[in-house]
Amino acid sequence: VTADIRQVAAEAGVSTATVSRVMSGRGPASARATAAVRSAARLLGYLPNSSASSLRTDRSMIIGVVVPNLANPVFLPFLRTVEHRAQRHGYAVLVADTQHDVEVERRQLDRLGAQRVDALVFAGRPADPDHVRRLSEAGLPIAEPVTFARQAGYPFSSRAASAIDDACGHLATVGHRRLAYVSRGGSVRSAPERWRLIEASCRSVGIEPRPVVLGTGPGGAAAGVPKLAATLASLVKASEGPTVLWSNSQVLAPLLLEAMAVAGIDIPADCSFLTFGDSAWAVAFRPSVSVITTDLDAVAVAMTASILQQLGVPEPGPPVGLRPDVFVIRGSIGAAPTRV
Amino acid sequence: VTADIRQVAAEAGVSTATVSRVMSGRGPASARATAAVRSAARLLGYLPNSSASSLRTDRSMIIGVVVPNLANPVFLPFLRTVEHRAQRHGYAVLVADTQHDVEVERRQLDRLGAQRVDALVFAGRPADPDHVRRLSEAGLPIAEPVTFARQAGYPFSSRAASAIDDACGHLATVGHRRLAYVSRGGSVRSAPERWRLIEASCRSVGIEPRPVVLGTGPGGAAAGVPKLAATLASLVKASEGPTVLWSNSQVLAPLLLEAMAVAGIDIPADCSFLTFGDSAWAVAFRPSVSVITTDLDAVAVAMTASILQQLGVPEPGPPVGLRPDVFVIRGSIGAAPTRV
DNA sequence: TTGTAGGCGTTATCAA
DNA sequence: TTGATAACGCCTACAA
């Protein structure tokens, strides 16, 4: 369907070597030849076949982005950032959703391997870290959040820890003594450090933490708001019930808030609320929702910069620093209620 | 770095042709040869080089997905659906963000063209429809929402029209006579039909519609909530001001809601509210937010199925029907206030 | 500064 | 059922 390099060469009255040199910008070419090739290429709508070029040069100009769950909007800024910076340097972006599944991840990595991607960027923790380590040792440039943060001097724990400490400290100060950390089945596994940090931090300020794991069926928590409301009602209204609900994720937060509204739990009079992950809706909600934010975008920028550098692309500007997570106090946190 | 077909052939004691036949599943191969090749491939970690394969077969096994704005979460389910169905049939997905810009789109399409993608899926309307039409006429399978819906017997207008009529009808019934349709600079251009439909529908039920376009600077409306609040306050509190605010997009909605809260505008007592695009937060919000939903996921499924069929991949099951948009009544719409 | 020619890894043809 | 071999389109020594 498309023109090839020989047709362009013929049209321009030069050899294929000259066309190649002009199109890639590598190697010498007279002004005359350059002009002839350019116009011939435009005339024929010539686009160099990157399969052929990859085969010859052993560079695919493709970066693979591995996302643990494409349904989760938190990964969107990540994907966006990588795509923007990659395309600026002529790289295309292949996206692969692993659906939090080891087997799917393996298949996807094989697919990316078959495409001979020049680098791999993980938007979240890989399901099979060993496999990834092996690829990395085989010479493939790879960026993965946890390892990356560690190398950059921000191991996960320290990045999140201060924000979690801030949150727990504030909660204790305004009188809370019992906290429930709510998550869904799938997510617990993906971020076990969080729970450990929260647990430790709570204990140190005299708050008793308690994990609440919601069932993860088809439809998940979304399917059963009335049921969820009942669960939360009995949880919160018990005499020794928690006075704070802490949502494990941005996705879970609105479901919990809705269920609390349905259950007639007033925020923050009956129970305070906070969640991981900020959003415009969290701000708009009344009372506005306290959050712990991670600057995922900055992480993506730093990871992409590191990858591009390994690929030998000069990225101008100073290296981007990673900001630790931040605890944002908003109206959804109030003084602990005194239960009758 | 990776093993090639010759090494596998040597290891398995067969020819490269046999390896190729076994790995691709095309062509005959004895059980004995198959087993030998399989184990040799596993041993060497062999992944066929798809650049070479593409070059030879003229099929890249890549589907390009063009997204007008990767920052907008509405495109996420779309991307997810295409990715899932594509990978099920061995296709990889290349994602390209055009940032609503003709020039960027052109560059991205060139990049995808250079990769010789087997098909193109547009998650939103292309910035340069003529260019896309040209590609399509050149034989590239392309799916694009508007054209696709039209072919499927659901031209955009009729898909959205009944929901818009429902909304306007309901608003008129509960006494509204003046409506403001709020959008941001960029989005108006991307969906001018909406405004036309809304305008016509409002007029037909005796509501006076009025477009409100918010400035689109860096940071956009997000930067100036106080300013936005002032704007909305003077808009709504005028004696002839609108009694309904209709948000053009899911992204804009939380900003407007926050600004209304800041401005002390009560929903729905002072002013009713509705938006395009449903979400868990819209449901959780109090009062919960009335919406017009589009089943983008179903659109993605149908578009992908059509593409896969054009690529000669048998998609089992009956063709998916496209549901028209739906107007969902929730608490954010109430009776029109009588202004003093 | 330009052209010639060989080969990147794979698949399809064809003869055995 | 198998194997030898000629492309696929491009890049890059190397020679001119």
Q: What is the pLDDT of residues B209-219, one digit of tens each?
A: 999 998 765 44
Taking an 8 Å cut-off on Cβ atoms, the answer to whether B114 and A261 are in contact is: no
Question: Is pLDDT of A230 > 50?
Answer: yes
Backbone angles phi, psi at A122, to 5 degrees: -100, 125
B54 Cβ nearer than 7 Å to chain C strand? no
CA-to-CA distance for B33 and B16, rounded, in angstroms?
12
Token pair 């296709």 in the structure block, residue: B91
C-alpha count within 13 angstroms, C-beta hemisphere, residue A263: 25
- pTM for this structure? 0.93
Count CB-CB contacts under 10 A for residue B42: 10
Q: What is the pLDDT of residues A1-53, one digit of tens each?
A: 789 999 999 999 999 999 999 999 999 999 999 999 999 999 999 999 999 99
Q: What is the pLDDT of residues B133-179, one digit of tens each?
A: 999 999 999 999 888 878 877 766 667 889 999 999 999 999 999 99
- Which DSSP category does A250 fall into? T
Q: Is the peptide bond before B316 cis (omega within 30 degrees of 0)?
A: no
Q: Which residue of B lies nearest to A221 if distances are taken between CA atoms?
A: B280
Question: Is pLDDT of B320 > 90?
Answer: no
- C9 C1': nearest CA residue: B52
Strands B290-293 and B326-328, by their bridges, are antiparallel
CA-to-CA distance for B290 and B310, rounded, in angstroms?
39
Q: What is the pLDDT of residues A297-308, one digit of tens each?
A: 888 999 999 999
Q: What pLDDT was estimated at residue B219? A: 45
CA-to-CA distance for B9 and B26, rounded, in angstroms?
17
C-alpha count within 13 angstroms, C-beta hemisphere, residue A283: 18
Q: What pLDDT was estimated at residue A99? A: 94
Residue B289 burial (CB < 10 Å; 0-12/13-18/19+)? Answer: buried
| Nucleotides, chain D, CB distance < 7 Å | 1-5, 7-13
A37 Cβ nearer than 7 Å to chain C strand? no
Question: Is pLDDT of A220 > 60?
Answer: no
Interface of B with A in 287-316 (CB under 8 A): 288
Residue A256 burial (CB < 10 Å; 0-12/13-18/19+)? Answer: buried
Contact by Cβ (8 Å): B159, B324: yes
CA-to-CA distance for A243 and B97, rounded, in angstroms?
44
Contact by Cβ (8 Å): A59, A117: no
Q: What pLDDT was estimated at residue A314? A: 77
Distance B312 CA to C13 C1' (A): 23
Contact by Cβ (8 Å): B151, B96: no
Contact by Cβ (8 Å): A261, A290: no
